[in-house]
């Protein structure tokens, strides 16, 4: 079986570099090209060592573990927790290595050649495969962190409004500083689309034609910007508002609902914007 040393080393360098870059991306660390280059070079030199000497499986495993630890130390020293860095690095290595092996198996038709031969004797197939997988990993990392970050600020709520019971997820937005100028109560922003399913056709028509006060007694207009875009809110006094912080339930009467025709449910995770003052309620 022939082994193509130069392309194999180039393939190894590309993979090690992209794996390190993917680990940085997932950990939300600033990319350090010097560290990435040095780490990839370390892995490539080690790969050359494997090719030059015939070692037992035990020695190969021990050396690979040491080389992996050295690469992680280069990448993550004083940047993040070492254990976390190692875990993400090896997860990325498994994903990228598995994808390259799969492509190699398709090209060569057997596992032995897929492991020993590079994908790029004539073209940089490895670079293309790595770039494609990197984009997928990047999208996953963005989605993962976004979901995790949102989960720390999302709370279940239950709203009783004109006899209707509305439940959903609210986003606790520290930038929401809307207060009812008349009562001084904090304003919770809810889009019209959220309450529309609970209204009759005539009520929907009244709201859309600018007569929300005919549907909700005492409703008042308020100019606002920020969380709901520049426009108007209809301020409505709810019958009851409940918000759940973990297993605790707070029943609040001293809040105002701000009904917006411009705020839409742009995110699937939440359908209302909560006020930070809610966390101050005992």
H or E segment and range at residue 244: strand 240-245
Q: 49-97: per-residue pLDDT in tens?
A: 776 767 677 877 788 888 889 999 999 988 888 888 899 998 988 888 8
What pLDDT is stored for residue 58 in this prediction? 80
- The span from the CA of 51 to the CA of 3, in Å, is 9
- pLDDT, mean of residues 139-150: 76
Arithmetic mean of pLDDT, 33-43: 92
Higher pLDDT, 281 or 32: 32
**Spatial CA neighbour of 257 closest among 201, 152, 200, 176:** 176
Tokens describing residue 73: 């130390």
Grade residue 118 by pLDDT with cuts at 50, 70 and 90: low
Q: What is the pLDDT of residues 158-175, one digit of tens each?
A: 888 878 888 888 888 877
Express each pLDDT in 208-267 by its tens digit: 888 888 888 889 888 876 554 546 889 998 888 888 876 666 666 688 899 988 776 555
Q: Does residue 35 surpass a pLDDT of 90?
A: yes
Cα–Cα nearest to 269, from 161, 181, 92, 143: 143
186 or 248, which is more confident?
186
**Residue 107 has which token pair?**
């090209």
Percent of the chain with pLDDT over 90: 10
What tens digit of pLDDT does each residue of 214-228 get? 888 889 888 876 554
Q: So what's the pLDDT on residue 230?
A: 47
Asked if 180 and 235 touch (Cβ cutoff 8 Å), the reply is: yes
Higher pLDDT, 140 or 121: 140
- What CA–CA distance (Å, rounded) separates 36 from 107? 29
* pLDDT reported for residue 144: 78
Q: What are phi and psi of 248, to 5 degrees?
A: -90, 140
CA-angle at 58, arms to 57 and 61, nearest 5°: 85
Distance CA(36)–CA(50), nearest Å, equals: 21
Whether pTM exceeds 0.85: no
Give the separation between CA 187 and CA 254, rounded to whole angstroms. Answer: 10
Is the CB of residue 202 less than 8 Å from the CB of residue 215? no
Q: Which residues pair with 235 in a beta bridge?
A: 220, 258
Considering the chain, what percentage of its residues have pLDDT values greater than 70? 83
Mean per-residue pLDDT, 128-150: 78
């Amino acid at each position: 079986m022939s082994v193509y040393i130069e392309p194999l080393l180039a393939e190894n360098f590309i993979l090690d570099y992209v794996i390190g870059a993917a680990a940085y991306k997932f950990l939300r660390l600033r990319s350090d090209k010097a560290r990435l280059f040095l780490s990839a070079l370390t892995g490539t030199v080690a790969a050359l060592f494997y090719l030059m000497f015939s070692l037992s499986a035990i020695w190969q495993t021990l050396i690979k573990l040491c080389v992996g630890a050295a690469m992680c130390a280069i990448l993550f020293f004083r940047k993040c927790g070492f254990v976390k860095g190692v875990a993400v690095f090896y997860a990325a290595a498994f994903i990228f290595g598995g994808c390259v092996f799969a492509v190699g198996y398709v090209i060569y038709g057997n596992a032995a050649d897929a492991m020993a031969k590079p994908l790029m004797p004539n073209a940089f197939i490895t670079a293309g495969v790595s770039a494609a997988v990197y984009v997928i990993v990047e999208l996953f990392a963005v989605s993962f962190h976004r979901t995790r970050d949102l989960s720390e600020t999302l709370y279940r709520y239950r709203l009783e409004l004109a006899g209707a019971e509305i439940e959903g997820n609210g986003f606790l937005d520290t930038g929401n500083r809307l207060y009812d100028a008349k009562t001084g109560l904090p304003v919770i922003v809810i889009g019209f689309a959220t309450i529309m399913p609970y209204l009759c056709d005539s009520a929907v028509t009244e709201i859309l034609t600018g007569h929300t006060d005919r549907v909700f007694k005492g409703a008042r207009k308020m100019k606002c910007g920020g969380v709901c875009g520049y426009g108007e809110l209809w301020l409505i006094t709810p019958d009851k508002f409940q918000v759940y912080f973990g297993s605790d339930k707070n029943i609040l009467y001293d809040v105002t609902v701000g009904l917006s025709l411009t705020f839409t449910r742009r995110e699937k995770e939440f359908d209302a914007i909560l006020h930070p003052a809610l966390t101050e309620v005992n």
